[in-house]
Structure 1
Amino acid sequence: MRKAFLKSSNEQLKKFAKIVNGDKPLRKISVDEKLKVGVDLGTSSIVLTVLDSKDRIVYGAYEYDHAVQDGIVVNFIESVNILRHLKEKTEKVLGRELKTACGAIPPKTGEKSAKVVANVIEETGLICTGIEDEPTAAAKFLSLSNGTVVDIGGGTTGISVFRDSKLIHVVDEATGGFHMTLVLGGRYKIKNDEAEKLKRNKDKESEVYAVIKPVVEKMAAIVQNMGSEIIDPVIVVGGATNFTEFTTTFSKDLKRKVYKPLYPQFVTPLGIAMFDN
């Protein structure tokens, strides 16, 4: 059963990875077709996703940013400018206007954070139809009714436990990909921008992972501390999980099988769009 839903999710993720930031949508759409839009204001990037009314992938775009910290918008103007650029690019590719969008925030970051995200979305001319929590959006995309989603972004580790499609427990800790960047910067005595580029360099992955592995182990410890509240399967998503050995470390520390979809950085953004009703 678990392999089946991951297979379906991975097929969708591969399609999205092929068209994201490209000059063509996955398929042509009519001028009056209902579209669903998701906006993920992440610590390291802002992602805009577009689905049709049946949650099938249409298009997506993203851009790296420094406007969000630990899941909180710290530079409103930069966030708006990046999102506006992504919106305009997407509208040009699709040949039509985007009208609504759903946003998301890390768990337990509060109404103030949700309001700021909504304001960013609406400042671009979109109508914000709602703000979801990020792991719930990931679970939506994965069609997960029972299990644990560990959403590791640039600034936070969000853990959501689901039973019978209901969210029963949420934990959020301020440890994420940015903390990996800080560790790399300290180890090599380089600036954060250089450390971020090094972290994303696939040719240096083995060397980089050896340095940032303690951060991954800390993330696993956050999950492990939840004890019996964790429900299998445990699925890790988010850009910070994009290391080959990530699930190996998590599985060893949790003493249970840990799953990771392909292109885990796009799971939550696609799930967010599914809530744009």
Structure 2
Amino acid sequence: MNITSLNEQFGHPEYLVFETDNHGQARVRLSTARSNLTLYLQGAQITSCFLPAASEPQYPVADDLFWVSKSSVYTKGKSIRGGIPICWPWFGPHERPQDRPQHGFARTSEFMVTSASVGNERSQITLKMTRALPTFPEWQLADAPGVDCEVRITLSEQLRMILTTTNHLAHNIEVGSALHSYFLVSDVSQIQVPELQGIEYLDKLQAYKVLVQDQPLQVDREVDRVFRHPPACISLIDPGLGRTIRIETTGTRNLVVWNPWTETARAMRDLDDDGYPHMICLEPANALDQVQSLMPGEQHQLSQTISLTQ
């Protein structure tokens, strides 16, 4: 469906506008009276969101919730580096990495809008994957009943995102997933996530060694940790921006914390060399040995609700 048709069927001149960016990629601007976000149809990927502060709920805050690399590639089949890429139906490297992309294929696949509703206080859009890029026959996502991937985004004074997986196949499947959120921070070395203290994690940088976060989280070097059974609500405290982001999750067995730091950032072509101090990934996930098993007909939902508490 082209941009004109999308605007005719779902659009609203004030609250829901479909457009093409400067790179020719289709995106959505979804708004309420006090909040707004930008969403790309490829990957159903949010790249920007402004919410009202708890202290001044009538106004959106000056700083974006999310970080996006200035070196991101905006082209078909490439994921944007930042915002909230959706990792699905696996997280991290596949067991066959030679012909399966990192983090699955949802973030590079086409999504279609299936419904939308807008208003002064609340706006919502639902998208469903229509064509997997690249296509893998075991998921049967193109022409036959297979595994559905649906994303519902609700914007109010909060941002709520629900990733729904439905197994229409005749056999069990295992699905890994993550909402790979890149949060904008003033200085990553100064942030706090107090709820993670005392939680067990796997350290990818130490061959997935099992450790416990026995001290407050300190990001002063590369961090790549998969926390097991994290609390359902965490706080990202940023003294420099003077804000606390509250993240509530459901349907998740892990929380991934990632920052590439200097050397890894330099090795990534789509990540600014000087960008890493201003981002932290806090990702509700079902990963590694804690993926979700779905029998025929079963459904699973992974969600996060993001708000500003100050």
| TM-score with structure 2 setting the length | 0.25
Higher strand share: 2
Greater RCO, CA 8 A, separation 6+: 1
